[in-house]
Each structure stands twice: as structure tokens, then as C-alpha cells.
Structure 1
Amino acid sequence: MAYPARSASSTGHGGVIHRVSDDCAPVAMLDRVPRPPRRPAPLAGTLFLGRDAVASGLLTPADLRSKAWQQVLRGIYADATITPTHGLRCLAVTRFILPPGGAIAGRSAAYLYGVPLVGADEPVDVLVPYGVDVRPAGVRAHHTPVDSSDLRILRDIPVTTPTRTCFDLAQWAAGLVEAVVMIDALASRRVVSVPELETYARERAGQRGWRRLLDAALLADAGAASPPESRLRVRLVRAGLPRPQTQVVITRGGRFVARSDLGWPEYQVAVEYDGVWHAESSTQIHADRRRLNDIVATGWVVLHVTAKRLRDDFDGFVRELRAVLRARGAL
């Protein structure tokens, strides 16, 4: 069906006049259709300095604010198609901020070694030589002596070695427990071994920070499966309880029954950390209860602890566990 030709203008609601094109689409509406953001080929899939892109004429300041780009750090941009990660921040720091002789360190180095315990927006830890001022937002600079043997190149990024990374974590973490959490994660991925750390610390006896690393190394365990389990284990030991084993295998008649987070096999006592996922579905609850019954049938005692209990009543849990260990002859 053919529509009659319309006039070049028409009066709409409220007397507002919209010019109409030949295809009947109001020009005013066409003007409001967002234009696709400009993504010049030389910048696609890259990291770059915003000021350089503008100075070269590839982009305008308005282009930088479009959805085509993301700001990784102040003045440093990346193609928006690149997933924003802490690793991307480390790369940006390496390319545009890190001075000669500097290196990615601490939690950021641990991230590059495969420990994903740092958020995409958290500051990047770096070691820089004395006398070099590094203050960009999003970068946490540490001025400390470092030997060249403590540095390496990892995927084109200068980073501290695993042992040096653990040394720095022991100094910079928010307390001994959190240092062990990070070291456990590195050890569980076979990035570093606990004996290596003990040797590294003892070889530096008398130097500033060596004792902190040794204390953390003596509490570290490559069998740790998660940060909450690491925190629980270290807190139990610091509360004066015997050190538990990690990933304890429980058997009955030579048949595998279960694997427990922490335990004292010689006394058949286990501790299980219950995360939120344990209560996510009736199916999971059913599986957990059946597993618990199987463990109890072997003669083991299992104590469960939740994140809330650790936060609000850790001392109460320690009293319960101490009583069980005492009844089993461990104390």
C-alpha cells in the first residue's frame, strides 16, 4: 500500500515542528542516533598514552571518553575490548611508569605468578631504586635495596623472583596471617617451595626483614586449598594448638572416604571450613550430610567452622577444638 506524500514539515504534539526526510524519518531523530566510536587501526588492541594519541591526531579528547577505550591508569588507555585485569595494570606500569631498575613486586608479582588474589582496580606494587620518585595514582612504590639476582623477566615484565616476592609479602602484608595466605597460594602452585623460603631467610639472618619471612615460611603449607583455610590453620597454630595437616585423606578398610581441609590423623580429628557454597542448594546439603556420616562412621570427629564463626567467635571454636583434642590425647 502506497502512502501519500507528506509535506516538508509537520506540526507535532505541542506545536513542535520536525523536519521530515524523504524516507519519513525525522532529521532531529537521526541527529540523536549515537555514532559508533572511532577506533583507529594503530590503537586497536593496544595500550597507549592518551596524550600521544591526541598529539598524533589519531584521537581527540572526546574520542578518549568514548566507549571504545578504557582508562587503565591516569593518562594510560587501552582498547575497551581488552579484559580489565590487574595484569593489564602491571603491563601499563611497566611500559609507561616503571623506571630503569624497577620491578613489579609484592601482591602484584604474586598475581603475575598465577595467584589471583588482587583486584583489577587495586594498586600495583613496585620496587624502585632509592632517589626515584614514582607517585602516579594506582601505583604503590617501595624504595628498598634489591639485588639483581632477585629480579627476572616474566612475559616481558620485570618482576621480583618468587623468593624475593615472598620476602616482600612478609614485610608489606597486613600481618603475618595475610602474608602466609599469599605464600601458601604461591607454594600450592609450585611457584616456590617452603624449604626454599626458609633457606632464603636464614641466608639473610641479621638483615632487616629476614625474621618476618622466616616466621611466615615456618607457618606456610603448600597443601592449603584456599585463603580461608590458610587463615584458619595459621590462627589455630597461633592460638597454641598442635599444627594440623592439610588435605587429610580419611579411609576405612583401605577405601577412600573423604578428604578433609585440616586434621590430626593420629588422633582422628578433622576441621572443615564451610563456605557459602555449602548451603547453596538442598542437593549440596544432602551430599555434605552423607559425606559427614561416612566420616563419622570411620571413628573420626569432625568440627565445622563458618566464616561468621571465625569472625565473631573464634575463641569459642578454639575452646571446642581444644576439648576434642584433649579428649583424644593430643593435649
Structure 2
Amino acid sequence: MFSVGDAHLAGVTRHQLRRPDLTSPTPGLRMWVDAEPTWREMALALSRLGDGQYLSHVTAAQLWGIWLPIWMQDGEQIHVTGRKGFSGSMRRPGVVGHRAKLDPADVVEVEGLRLTTPARTWLDLAPQLKDPLDLIAAGDALLQRADGPPRAEGVLGRNPLSTFTEIDAVMERRRSVKGIQVARQARPHLREGVDSAPESRMRGVVVNAGLPEPVVNPVIMLAPGVRRQPDLALMEWKLALQYDGGGHAEQAQVNRDIWRDDDFDRHDWRTVKAGRDLYTAYGEQAFLDRLRRAMRAQEHRGFGPHH
């Protein structure tokens, strides 16, 4: 797939662009009749249609690997923002066109793709993400640790994608846009070093319940030579909080999880787990009930802030 503009720059004539084995999936683009472009190829081509057009919103988030709720991961429509005062919003089938002020610091070109930066993308998502915990998770995705789990295959950038300074700067530049209030409410709850969206949600569920905020991915020396790093921890209660979404099917991983939990047990720690039902009201309440029971049990054993 290629743009008409790029074809003209390469010396292709208008007559050649009308040959029968070429088709136009959308104005300004050409591709071979039998071609089946991927979503990413279409996004790349659309981002090259004009100097003032940039992939944005959900499309940019998917390209950056920003954590999104399942209902936003359709990958079908492509969001493109036209720079206000320079370009209009793109209107064509399969494209959601936007028009907004784009500061030079808010856009970037990576691997041929013109798109909004991770920080600007997060702010653009603010009015679309109805659940505040989803917005916090998307923000946490920008601040992952460099030595954490590998990023999803094919996404752009390296961890961390952004910094608090860059997030604050884009919010300052966009002080009156739609979604700025919910972004301001979410900003104090973003944390560095979170490894996954479920871990982010687990932390948010605990805080929203009025319980102390757990520490993210702490390195805990249980004994000389015994080092563990739970997803979250309530250090004073000696409670390790782990998310187990059922992805640990391999026997080797199952064994490692058993050994990890046994290490905690042998050193006066308790493990409280959350599963996929954390995304339901029932599962959330069940997890909180388990956590509160574990906190009370640890307090009886002499652990907690008042001991």
C-alpha cells in the first residue's frame, strides 16, 4: 500500500495510478487488488497522507502498547488527529477523524509512523475511559520499569515510555481540554514500576476500599539468599498481594509460584491472590474480603502498624 503523494514523488504518473490491478481503499491511497493490508499497514499509510495528520487516541495507544480495557481493543477503526490551523479532521470510511492543537512536543515519528507521544495519547484517552481505574492503568503503562517483563511483540518504544515530567507538561499545555479534570484526578495515583494492568487495578481496588496503598513490586529479603518480589505488598502486615489471571499454565511456572508462596509462609508472610474476577463487582468484593481477613490474621500474629 502507498500514498498517491509518495507515488508522484517516485515518478509514477497519474495514468499509471489508474491501472486495473490497483485499487483505492480510501482517497489518496493505492494498493494491489489482491492485497490484504494489515491494520498496522493501513495506519502507516493513513499517517503519511498529510504533514498535519497524526495517529492518535486508541490507535496510538495500541501502537505504543498502552494498557486498554478489552472493549477498546477492537483494532478496526483508525483514529487520526489533524493539526488545528494546519489540517482538517480526516473523514473517510474506517477512520475516526479528530482535529486539535498539536504542539511539536506532542507528536513524534517512529518507524515511519506519525503519531501522538505516549503522554499526549494518555491525555487524549481521558474522556474515553469511563472507569477511573482504567485511566490509571493506562498511565501506569507509560511508567513501567526498564527491567520488567518484555513488552508485547510489535509495539513501539521501550519502557518507560514516558516520565511524570512529560505527563505534567502535556497536561499543562492542554489545561482546558475535555477530560483534563479526570486526568488531574488520576495523575496523583499513577505509579512507576507496575508490570501489568491487572496489578494496577488490584492496587486501585485496595486504595478505593480505604485500605493502605500497597507498595509496587518491592524487593523483599525474606532471609539471607531468599529474595522475593511480589506484585504488591502491605509491608507492615507482611502481606504479599499477587495477581493470578490463569496464565501460568506451564508446569515450571506453577512450581515457581508454589515455591514463592512457600517462601513467604516460612518467613511469617501471607499471600493474598486476585484472579480475573477482579474485573467484576463480585470478584472485587471477594478479593477485599480475603485481604481484610488476612490483615486481621496478621495483626493477631503481631504484625501491622500498631505493633
Same fold (TM over 0.5): yes
Equivalent pair of 1:271/1:303 in contact (CA under 8 Å): yes
Which of 170, 186, 192 in structure 1 is aligned with 2:142? 186
1:273 aligns with 2:243: yes
Q: CA deviation at 1:318?
A: 1.1
Q: CA deviation at 1:229?
A: 1.6
Equivalent pair of 1:187/1:222 in contact (CA under 8 Å): yes
Please name the residue that 2:2 is paired with. 47
Please name the residue that 1:315 is paired with. 285
CA distance in 2, matches of 1:215, 1:300: 34
Cα distance change, pair 80–248 in 1 and its aligned pair in 2 (3 A): farther
CA distance in 2, matches of 1:266, 1:225: 22
The range that moved more, 299-308 or 228-237, is 228-237
Q: Which runs of no fewer than 5 residues in structure 2 stay unpaired?
A: 5-11, 145-158
CA distance in 2, matches of 1:116, 1:329: 33
Aligned residues: 274
1:176 aligns with 2:132: yes
Following superposition of structure 1 onto structure 2, how do residues 45-84 of structure 1 map, counting pairs within 5 Å? 46-47=1-2, 56=16, 60=20, 77=31, 84=38
- Deviation per CA, 1:130-164, whole angstroms, max 9, x where unpaired? 78342323222223333344233334433223332
| 3-state SS, counterpart of residue 243 of structure 1 | coil
The range that moved more, 280-289 or 176-185, is 280-289
Cα distance change, pair 318–114 in 1 and its aligned pair in 2 (3 A): closer
Equivalent pair of 1:251/1:298 in contact (CA under 8 Å): no
| 3-state SS, counterpart of residue 247 of structure 2 | helix
Please name the residue that 1:38 is paired with. none
1:296 aligns with 2:254: no
Of structures 1 and 2, the one with the larger relative CO (CA 8 A, separation 6+) is 2
What letter corresponds to residue 104 of structure 1 in structure 2? L
What letter corresponds to residue 60 of structure 1 in structure 2? P
Cα distance change, pair 218–81 in 1 and its aligned pair in 2 (3 A): farther
CA distance in 1, matches of 2:293, 2:162: 36
Percentage of identical aligned residues: 24
- Deviation per CA, 1:207-226, whole angstroms, max 9, x where unpaired? 65333222222222221111
CA distance in 2, matches of 1:180, 1:235: 11
Q: CA deviation at 1:91?
A: 0.7
CA distance in 2, matches of 1:110, 1:302: 33
- Deviation per CA, 1:31-68, whole angstroms, max 9, x where unpaired? xxxxxxxxxxxxxxx5357xx9996378536x86xxxx
What letter corresponds to residue 142 of structure 1 in structure 2? H
Which of 57, 79, 83 in structure 2 is aligned with 1:125? 79
Q: Which runs of 4+ in 1 moved over 6 A?
A: 70-75, 78-83
- Deviation per CA, 1:107-129, whole angstroms, max 9, x where unpaired? 32234445486868432222223
| 3-state SS, counterpart of residue 218 of structure 2 | strand
Equivalent pair of 1:53/1:59 in contact (CA under 8 Å): no
1:160 aligns with 2:111: no
- Deviation per CA, 1:181-233, whole angstroms, max 9, x where unpaired? 22222221112113442454357556653332222222222211112222222
Following superposition of structure 1 onto structure 2, how do residues 1-331 of structure 1 map, counting pairs within 5 Å? 46-47=1-2, 56=16, 60=20, 77=31, 84-86=38-40, 88-96=41-49, 99-115=50-66, 121-128=75-82, 129=84, 132-188=88-144, 189-198=159-168, 200-201=170-171, 208-278=178-248, 280-311=249-280, 312-326=282-296, 327=299, 328-329=303-304
Please name the residue that 2:9 is paired with. none
**Superposition TM-score, scaled by structure 1 size:** 0.68
Cα distance change, pair 261–95 in 1 and its aligned pair in 2 (3 A): same
Cα distance change, pair 209–57 in 1 and its aligned pair in 2 (3 A): closer
**Superposition TM-score, scaled by structure 2 size:** 0.72
Larger Rg: 1
